[in-house]
Amino acid sequence: MTDADKRLLRRTIQIAHEAMEKGNHPFGALLADKNGNILMEQGNEFQAGGSAYHAETLLLLKAAKKYSPEFLKQCTLYSNFEPCCMCTGALYWTNVGCLVYGATEKDLLKFTGDNEENPTFSLSSRDVVAHGQKDIVIEGPTDDDELLEQICKDHIDFWN
Strands (E), 44-136: 76-81, 98-103
For residue 34, the tally of other CB atoms under 10 A from its CB is 12
pLDDT tens by residue, 39-89: 999 999 999 998 899 999 999 999 999 999 999 999 999 999 999 999 999
* Banded model confidence at residue 120, pLDDT cuts 50, 70, 90: confident
pTM above 0.85? yes
Q: What is the band of 159 on the pLDDT scale with cuts at 50, 70, 90? A: confident
Burial (CB < 10 A; 0-12, 13-18, 19+), residue 3, is exposed
